[in-house]
Every structure is written in structure tokens, then in C-alpha cells.
Amino acid sequence: MGNDATRNEQGFADGAWRSTRPLRVVHVMESTIGGTRRHLVDVALGQAEAGLDVHVIASCERHAEFRDDLERLAAEGVGVLELPMVRSLRPLVDYSHLRAVQRHLRAIVPDVVHTHSSKGGVLGRVASLRTGIGARVHTPHTFAFLFSHMFGPAKRRVFRSIEERLARGTHVVVAVGAGEAETMLASGVVRADQVRVVPNGIDPGPFETAEPLARADLGAHQDELLLGVVGLLNVAKGQDLALRALARPGAERARLVLVGHGDTEGELRALAADLGVADRVEFLGWRRDVPRILRSLDGLVLPSRWEGLPYVVLEAMAAGTPVLAARVDGARDLVGDGRGGFTFEVESVDGLTGCIAHLASLTRDERERLGASGRATLLAGHTRSTMVSGLEAVYREAVALNANSGALSESADPAFQSPGSTA
């Protein structure tokens, strides 16, 4: 193994050696839920299909069904290590997981360590810095220190400090959309020369060809405007805003289905009852037939308070379903008034109500043309193959930077380095 590591380091400086095997990448993620889960699976499968040597270190603690995804990845030739990482700060547990990641890096000697979200971002990058193995690429999927609705000021200061220190030892930071890149740069945590935009992308096929469900199966009458919110039930996704809009004048014809599960389900059910709209709201829970649901909707609602680049918007666009979206990162890159749907200011219930009324005023043909324009936007730059090729280009750039920037590791916070560690 020592010889492999030496050859790998030489390979960074000598492109001729690199051609003897595929680029080897390991992904590290704790937050295997929602869109980040979808991103990891799509990227890993796409990279394996493209001929990369792909490995995944991931946790199933957030969602036990992610084990099904890990089995699928393993069946497609992806190396898999399940590590029970947890979201909260637990120093002793986190340190044991850090040592496990370090051992795995020494075993596989990746060219690239691609970390995702907060906990995976810390453990993966610290392990890479401590072992000296791999170019470091990080996709934050939005920085946690920006989540003012979820964390208090003290926690957000800690999160920001950690991200600032780790950014100094990161070769490339990937934004999943142009809007997220703008937010990253405005935060001041990363440098402009570190950031690359690789937009999320999907395989549109399953959403283009799915058979719509009968409206009655979703509790809707023919004369109602059937809207849906798809995603984890939590503060970030803003389902409460959609319920409030449903109760406003202008949305009387609308019926809302909520697809997903999460911490705020009880609060949302109570809110629907308090607003007097419970008879126009269906809680569908977690579903495997999301393509069929999207094909059945008159419109997808994205009331999120923050996003990176939301997969559900891409999926709705592939299905030809108009989108009513808050102008969060990612959504404003994809949807513009008359291009795939309509947008409203973040947390504006009045704005969302206006979009609902506007959609309700359109004929069926007009709604279909609106959905078709969204599909055209998707196909032009948000397919899975485009995403995979964009990431490979980023990896090769990061490998070159790693070969030529010994000062980068030296500039990272010493607390994150321990070259002599035996873990």
C-alpha cells in the first residue's frame, strides 16, 4: 500500500502515470436525506458508468432506507462503507469516525476526496489533511451557518469558524447552481478562485414517461387546481407558507398535497386545521411514485426558505409541470416568470398566493406550454451526464492543484493536521 501511495503522489505530477487507471474518488456524506441523498446517488452512479473508480463513505442514521441505495451502488461496482456518522456534535463519536475515514483513505488512496454537507465535509477534509491523501473538493449544499431559522447565533458562529478554517485547505468548492455560488462568495468564507459551479442534473426519462395518477387518488376534483409540495417536512422547506397561501383569497380553487415526512408534520396538520384548510390538504408521506405524482399536478410549489439547487424543481420540469418557486438559490436560476413557471419573494405568502391565482387563470394549453418551456431549460443544461462530466473536470483541476500547491495544506489550520497519526 505504501508503494501505491507513493505512485499516487507521483501521478499528481506526472499525467502519464495517471492514464494507467481511472480517476479514483471517494465521497463522504452524513446528510443522506432529501436532495443531498439524491445528489450523492446520482453522482456516484453516473461516475461509475463514466468509468471512474468510485467509493462512498456514508451514514444511514438519518434515513435507514438509504441502505437500499448503498446496496444499489455496490451492485453497480461502487465501493461502499457505511459509517454511522451523526448530524449533532458528539466529539468522542466524531473522533472515532474520523479515524475510520482516515483508515479508509489509506486503504484505497483516492485521487480526490469529495465531501458533502457539514459533518461529512468536516470529517472527510480533516481526514484528507491528516493523512495527506487526495485533492479536497467540497460541496456544501448550502452552508449550515446560514440557517438562521434552525440554529442560534452561537452555533452559527461555531459552524462558520469551522468552515473558514477548512476552506483554507480545500482545493475546490463546488456550488450546485449559480445562485448558491453568489451566496457562498457573499458569505466571505471561500475565495472566488476556489468556487466552481456544476449545476445539479437528472435523468429526465422517468419523469417524462411516468403515467399520471388519477386526480381522485390524490383527493382532487376535476375543477380544482392541484398543487403539490415535495420534500422533507421541516422549517427550511416552508410547507407552512404554502398552507397559509392556501387560506388566502385567490387560492380558493386550489388543493394541496404534501409529499414527504419530517419533524414538522404534527405542526403542519395543526396549522392546516387552524387555518380552516384541512379539507383541502392531503398528507401523502414518503412516496416512491413521485414521478407519477408530479405528472398529475397542475403545479409544483417550492416555498423553501433556502436551497442549493432543488432536485424537485428539476424533476417537475422534466415532467412538464409548471413551478411556483420562492426566489431561493437554484430556483431563481431555473425558473423565471413565463419560463417554466412563476417566482415570488422568499417567505412572501402574498407573493405565493398571487402565483397560485395566476396559474389558476391559465387555460390547460397555456399551462402545458409553460411546463414545456421548463422541460427545454432542463434539457439544455441540467442532465445527469452534464453534471457528471462537469464534476470530472473539477476533479482533474483539483488533482493538478494538489500536485502543485504544497503551500495549500501548509496554510490550513494546524489543528486539522496530524501527519504522524496512526489512525
Give the CATH number of the domain where residue 193 resides.
3.40.50.2000
pLDDT of residue 16 exceeding 70, the answer is: no
Would you say residue 180 lies in a domain? Answer: yes
Give pLDDT tens digits for 222-237.
Answer: 899 999 999 999 999 9
Distance CA 66, CA 417 (A): 31
Residue 176, Cβ density class (10 Å: 0-12 exposed, 13-18 middle, ≥19 buried): buried
Strand partners, 323: 300, 341
Residue 310 shares a structural domain with residue 218: yes
Distance CA 252, CA 271 (A): 17
Residue 416: predicted pLDDT: 52
Residue 227 shares a structural domain with residue 166: no
Distance CA 88, CA 57 (A): 18
Residue 135 shares a structural domain with residue 212: no
Would you say residue 423 lies in a domain? Answer: no
Cα angle at 48 between 192 and 116, to 5 degrees?
40
Note every long-range contact of 341-344, with CB atoms under 8 Å and residues 24 or more positions apart, other chains counting. 341/299, 341/300, 341/370, 341/374
Residue 258 shares a structural domain with residue 337: yes
Q: Give me the percent of the chain exceeding a pLDDT of 70.
A: 89
Residue 367 shares a structural domain with residue 276: yes
pLDDT of residue 133 exceeding 80, the answer is: yes
Residue 8 shares a structural domain with residue 122: yes
Would you say residue 284 lies in a domain? Answer: yes
Would you say residue 212 lies in a domain? Answer: yes
Strand partners, 325: 302, 343
Cβ distance 146 to 191 under 8 Å? no
pLDDT band at 245 (very low <50, low <70, confident <90, very high): very high
Would you say residue 252 lies in a domain? Answer: yes
Residue 170 shares a structural domain with residue 228: no
Q: Count how many domains the chain has.
A: 2
Domain that holds residue 127: 2-201+383-416
Among 149-163, 186-200, 244-258, 394-408, the range scoring the smallest mean pLDDT is 149-163
Three-state secondary structure call for residue 43: helix
State the maximum Cα–Cα separation within the chain, in Å, rounded to a whole number. 71
Residue 32: predicted pLDDT: 85
Residue 27 shares a structural domain with residue 86: yes
Q: Are strands 24-29 and 112-116 parallel, antiparallel or unpaired?
A: parallel
Residue 119 shares a structural domain with residue 226: no
Residue 291 shares a structural domain with residue 387: no
Would you say residue 422 lies in a domain? Answer: no
Strand partners, 267: none
Would you say residue 421 lies in a domain? Answer: no
Picking from 319, 244, 311, the residue whose alpha carbon sits closest to that of residue 281 is 244
Residue 317 shares a structural domain with residue 191: no
Residue 421: predicted pLDDT: 43
pLDDT of residue 212 exceeding 80, the answer is: yes
Residue 408: predicted pLDDT: 56
pLDDT band at 307 (very low <50, low <70, confident <90, very high): confident
Residue 276 shares a structural domain with residue 323: yes
Would you say residue 65 lies in a domain? Answer: yes
pLDDT band at 418 (very low <50, low <70, confident <90, very high): very low
